[in-house]
Every structure is written in C-alpha cells, then in structure tokens.
Amino acid sequence: MHRLIALLFTLVISVPALGQTTWIRAGGVVDVESGTLLENQVIRIDDERISAMGADLQIPRGAEVIDLSSSVVMPGLIEAHTHLALSTQQRRDFGRFFITNVIETTGYRAIQGVTNARSLLEHGFTSIRDLGNSGNYGDLDLKHAIEHGWIPGPDMQTVGRIIAPFGGQFQLQPEHPELVAPEYLVADTQDEILKGIHQNLHYGADLIKIVVDDFAYQYTVDDLRFAVEAVNRAGTKVAMHVTTFQGARNAVEAGAASLEHAWQLDDATLELMVQQGTFLVGTDFPSYYAGYFAGYDESLAQKLYDERIERLRRAYEAGVQIAFGADVTDQKDGYTRGSLTISFISSFADAGVTPADLLRIMTINGARLMGWEDDKGTVAVGKHADLIAFDGNPLEDPDILLNVDFVMKRGDVYKQDGRFVWEVPSVIEATE
Ligand SMILES: [Zn+2]
C-alpha cells in the first residue's frame, strides 16, 4: 500500500514535466556507428527522448529551440570505470587509499562524490559505471540522489561493495583484519561469493565487481563461473578486475562481461575475448600520468606507459570490444575529476585508435557493456536525449572532446555556452 501511494504521488507531481517538447538545430550530428557527420540536423525531443531527427524537419513557430547550428552534436560520453566516492591525494604511493575507510566516513566520501559526479557531467559524461570503493554503499546513495534530482550527475550503474578473496585489495595485518570492510566483501568460498552477490543485489547494486588476482591465491575458473552464473540468473553482469595473464584468462573463460585493467593479456586470451564478446576496460592513462604509477621514476614510467599502450594496441588490432574507463581516483593540481578523466583519451591516439573508433569506444560500446544500448550510445529516435556539443568536429580532431560546450541528459540542459546551468530545484520527488 505504501508503494502504491508513493507511485500515485510520483505520477501526480510528474505531470507538469510531461508533454514538454524541445527542438535543437544542430550544425552537424556525429553518427558514431558509421563514423560520419550528418550535416544540418534538426532534433525534436519529447520529455527525455529523441522523438524525431532529420535535415528537413520543420520547427513550429513559437517552439522552444536550442541553437547549436554552429556546433557538432554527439551522444553523451560513457565512463565505464570510475569511483565517485574515492578521492585520494596524488602521492608516491597508494598509502592514502589503504586508509581512506579509516579516516573518512561513507557520508564524507559520498559528498566528495557529489562534486565528482557534477564534474564528470560537466565534461560530457552522461553515463558512468561506478566500480566501487565507495565506503558502505555510498555509490548507491549517489545514484539515488542523482535519479531524484537532488544533485546533478550522470546516469549511474553501481557495484556496491567489491567481492574479493581475503584482504580485498589491502595489505592487512593480523590485529586488524576488519579494516578490509566496508571497502570489500571478503569471499573465499563459493558459498561466501554467493552471499556477497546476494547482499549487493539486495541493497540495489546494478552489477557485481570481483577482484580476481591481486594476491597469489586467485579465484579459479570454477569460482568465477559459479559467480557469473549466479549473477546472470539475477539478470545482470560481472566486471572482473584482473592484472595477471592467468587472472585474465580465468575471467574470460568464466564469462566476465568485462576485464578491468588487464595489464597482462596474451594473444590467445585476446582471441577468446573476441569470440565471447568480452569487453576490455583498459583504464589506460596518459603518458604524463605514468609517473604516478611508477614512483616518479622517469625511465620506469616510460617503460610502463609503453607496455600499456602496446597491450591496448594489440587488443584494438585483434578486434576486442573496448569501452572507455579512466579509473581516476586521485586529485591532481589544475584538474577536476571530469577534466582529468577526459584527458585520458590521449592514450588511445598513442595506441593507433582512429578518432571514429575512439568515439565508438566512448559511446556505443559503453552503452552495450552497460546493457543500455536501447537508451543510450547514439543520437537516434527513441533514445534518451543525452547530447553533448562542441565547437568543432571530434571525428577530425578528438582533442575537441576536451572542451565540451553543451551537455543535455534525458532532455534536461546542464551546460550551455560552456557554462554549467543546473540550479537547485524547488521541488524534489518523494523517495519511494
Ligand atoms: Zn578502479
């Protein structure tokens, strides 16, 4: 009964938004599937979806029109590996990461996530997969706050707590094994894995993340297949963090939807990824960033960067499906979360990825990985009006992506003429 009342209330207060039509006059629209520019397009948006598009569409007199006639429009970007509620200081080591959950509450981290969510949206990311390290389900609170309009941010998928063998991704000491929580759900047996999956899904996680191989004791193919089957039965997918050849192989054989990082990938595993449609979310960083991961040793940084780019190039040339994910968790002077994240596109150019493929990687591929291809990833009739626009054509110069002028998500404008225009709403829907 309570749900019914909440539903009725939602319907009643939603009424004023229904029937809203907006028109966009676009100088060009990027068709990411064909990698071409459609010139002089008119887009009609009803509520949150595109209802018509074409060069000959007539805009009725007196209609609300957004003039992007000197801009190029493309689908909103998709960031498939981020951590809104983790904001470490950039330092020589990951020391702060290991103590984040000791010195910062989930509430404080969720508040950091508010700023990070807004920043990603401001830089053109209209959808994200948040892959955990969010304290005690802070990612779910962020998602709900965005959905209900309390804060501006991208549409989100969340993992809740990351499932991992003993230790999670921390180096614990015997007097404080509890410090692994709440960052990780420790699961060493299949029973514990199942329990972790159920816990996450119960609290509302959209997908499951498993850390496969951070320690010498890795999950076996059997363990991972068991997890994938349980998660698939519940209608969703598993993202697997892997860093070793064997971990990557096990994850692909078990049916992971995506490999996260996968620094080590042999050609046989790449071939299997192509056969099975496994996505690579390589989280490859720009060259200027490599020092952070290499203890600021310059020659080591160059070697590290070259290895990563070589792996990305091999995956790209093998025809593996790639989605964009920067995995930014730290703060860097002069950058926001959004500007730092979008700066990671340079690694794709260095790996020989064409601009058209980069745009696919950042839109339609991410939408497919998220299972959101019916709603997102292209500018097409029936899809969400998640649109961004630039003064220039990113098919010709991908660096155009660094400077987005206009951001619309589900028909609502968040950035116009380079300015963030979201305002605190006067009325916010009651939460069910
Ligand atoms: Zn990550």
User: What are the residue boundaries of the structural domains of the chain, listed by start?
Assistant: 2-76+378-420, 77-370
Sheet holding 208-211, edge to edge: 184-186, 162-164, 208-211, 238-242, 258-261, 279-281, 321-322
Listing DSSP states for 369-427 in one string gives HHT-TTTSSS--TTSB--EEEESS-TTT-GGGGGS--EEEETTEEEEETTEE-----S-
**Which ranges of the chain have pLDDT less than 70?**
1-18, 90-96, 431-432
Ligand 1 geometric centre to CA of 30 (Å): 30
pLDDT number for residue 239: 99
Looking at the DSSP bridge assignments, the partners of residue 407 are 388, 415
pLDDT number for residue 176: 93
pLDDT number for residue 94: 57
Ligand 1 geometric centre to CA of 334 (Å): 22
Ligand 1 geometric centre to CA of 327 (Å): 5
Q: Is 77-370 CATH 3.30.420.40?
A: no
Ligand 1 geometric centre to CA of 194 (Å): 22
Ligand 1 geometric centre to CA of 328 (Å): 7
pLDDT number for residue 297: 78
- State which amino acid sits at residue 418: G
CB contact burial 44-64 (16+ within 10 A = b; e otherwise): bbebbbbeebeeeeeeeeeee
pTM: 0.94
Ligand 1 geometric centre to CA of 117 (Å): 16
Calculate Rg over the CA atoms of the chain: 22
Ligand 1 geometric centre to CA of 257 (Å): 16
Backbone phi and psi for residue 113, each to the nearest 5 degrees, phi listed first: -65, -30
pLDDT number for residue 16: 40
Say if CB 158 and CB 83 are below 8 A apart. Answer: no
Ligand 1 geometric centre to CA of 126 (Å): 19
Ligand 1 geometric centre to CA of 36 (Å): 33
pLDDT digits (tens, 9 = 90+) for 23-75: 999 999 999 999 999 999 999 999 999 999 999 999 999 999 999 999 999 99
Q: CA-to-CA distance for 337 and 430, rounded, in angstroms?
A: 30
Q: CA-to-CA distance for 364 and 76, rounded, in angstroms?
A: 10
pLDDT number for residue 75: 98
Ligand 1 geometric centre to CA of 363 (Å): 19
Q: Which fold has domain 2-76+378-420?
A: Urease, subunit C; domain 1 (2.30.40)
Of 291, 309, 313, the closest CA to residue 301 belongs to 291
Ligand 1 geometric centre to CA of 131 (Å): 6
Any residues with CB less than 8 A from the CB of 65 and at least 6 apart, and which?
Answer: 22, 23, 24, 25, 59
